[in-house]
Amino acid sequence: MSTESKAGNTALDILKWLVAALFLAGAVSVNYLYADLGTLYRVLAMVALMLLSVGAAFTTTHGQSFLVLLKEANKERRKVVWPTPIETRQTTLVVVAVVFIAGLGLWLLDMGLSWLVKLIIG
């Protein structure tokens, strides 16, 4: 019985994906077919059709899994400890200093190698 329900869900999911694709195709075709219509109406129609497409996609098994993933990612995002403005400034200054020192070192290396090549070539 579970294989029958999985097969039924798969067929239903395929139908839902087709509906989502049709809504998306409708959103694209609205822009081309109704070019003489006002921009506001075309944009509203496209947004509405895209929202319907996303809504149809979220009702599928993969869409539900994606929503669960988004919820879990949001929980993890809330656990992040963000740096204070002072820590951010200090880290930025350290990065700028290291980049400056590395650039200076590379410049000195380049100048030394250039001097060496000139000495060899003559």
**One pLDDT digit (tens) per residue for the chain, 122 residues:** 445 455 557 888 899 999 999 999 998 888 888 878 888 888 898 999 999 999 999 999 999 999 999 999 999 999 999 899 999 999 999 999 999 999 999 999 999 999 999 999 97
Cα–Cα distance measured from residue 13 to residue 101, given in angstroms and rounded to the nearest whole number: 57
Among 62, 55, 2, 1, smallest CA distance to 24 is for 55
Residue 41, pLDDT score: 86
20's enclosing H/E stretch is helix 2-33
Q: Are 18 and 30 in contact (CB under 8 A)?
A: no
Name residue 94's amino acid. V
Residue 74, pLDDT score: 94
- For 47-58, b/e burial (b = at least 16 CB within 10 A) is eebbebbeebbe
Residue 103, pLDDT score: 98
Cα–Cα distance measured from residue 89 to residue 57, given in angstroms and rounded to the nearest whole number: 43
Residue 109, pLDDT score: 97
Q: What angle do CA 28, 32, 37 make, to 5 degrees?
A: 115
Q: Are 23 and 52 in contact (CB under 8 A)?
A: yes
Cα–Cα distance measured from residue 104 to residue 39, given in angstroms and rounded to the nearest whole number: 54
Residue 11, pLDDT score: 86
